[in-house]
Amino acid sequence: MKRHFSIKIYSILIIALLFSARGKAQIVYTDVNPDSVSSGVYNLDLNNDATTDFIISQTVGSPICTHNTHYIRISPTGNNEVLTNSTPYVYKLSSNTVIDTSTNFWSNNANQTMLYYHWQTLMCPGGAYAGQGNWLNAVNGYLGLKLFVNNIPYCGWALLNTSSSASSGITTFTIQGYAYNSIPGEQIAAGEIGCNLPTPIITPSGSTTL
């Protein structure tokens, strides 16, 4: 009888711990399905509250030798910020890189450059397209994002690919998904989407299965 009672207590503790973990689930992930390929503008709503938080855009600048210059840029709205570095270019993070509110080089500037593709030549005619920036032909790169809601910061990320044509210079970007940590001020790892916890089941004998 005592052993049976102990098993039940143990089962209850397991269930309590699992439901406690569920209650603390904090990563809110959005899968963009199908992936959104754009050569224009994408309005990113990181927390899905029907308000644009970041604007990612492909724009065309002044031509060189009749060849247009192409940019991919990001502009935060409101007080939101993008993780950048000491250069003019936005960081491209690798998977599992920690994004934290205390990280240096957060920027609220508009039109932060992810990459630009331009015609490179000393004289016309001649030359070829060349690119600069951390996001040049990026595959599975992550933007570090800081979202402010009522002046309270939340950390997040967005997963993108970029592509640039060596013949035309035209650039595109692909949004695959994004996420943020719903606990204010808490860090998030690039690519982190949380976890699915098992559902506990108590059998008639008092044992617990997951």
What is the pLDDT, as a whole number, of residue 197?
41
The pLDDT of 116-137, averaged and rounded, is 77
Contact 75, 137 (CB under 8 A): no
205 pLDDT band (50/70/90 cuts)? very low
pLDDT at residue 184 is higher than 90: yes
Whether the pLDDT of residue 152 is over 60: the answer is: yes
Q: Higher model confidence: residue 58 or residue 203? A: 58
DSSP SS3 for 206: coil
- What's the pLDDT band for 103 if we cut at 50, 70, 90? confident
Average pLDDT of span 10-20: 41
What is residue 158's predicted lDDT score, i.e. its pLDDT?
98
Average pLDDT over residues 160-184: 91
Place of tokens 């990181």: 46
**Residue 119's pLDDT band (boundaries 50, 70, 90)?**
low
pLDDT at 116 over 90: no
| Closest by Cα among 63, 65, 62, 84 to 73 | 84
Per-residue pLDDT tens over the stretch 48-76? 999 999 999 998 877 767 677 888 999 99
59 vs 72: CA distance, rounded Å:
6
- Kind and range of the H or E element at 20? helix 2-23
What's the token pair of residue 146? 């800081």
At residue 24 the predicted structure's pLDDT band, cuts being 50, 70 and 90, is very low
Cβ pair 113, 90 in contact under 8 A: yes
Count CA atoms within 13 Å of residue 33 on its CB side: 3
What's the whole-number mean pLDDT along residues 79-108? 91
Cα–Cα nearest to 118, from 31, 177, 59, 32: 59
State the chain's mean pLDDT as an integer.
81
**pTM for this model (two decimals):** 0.78
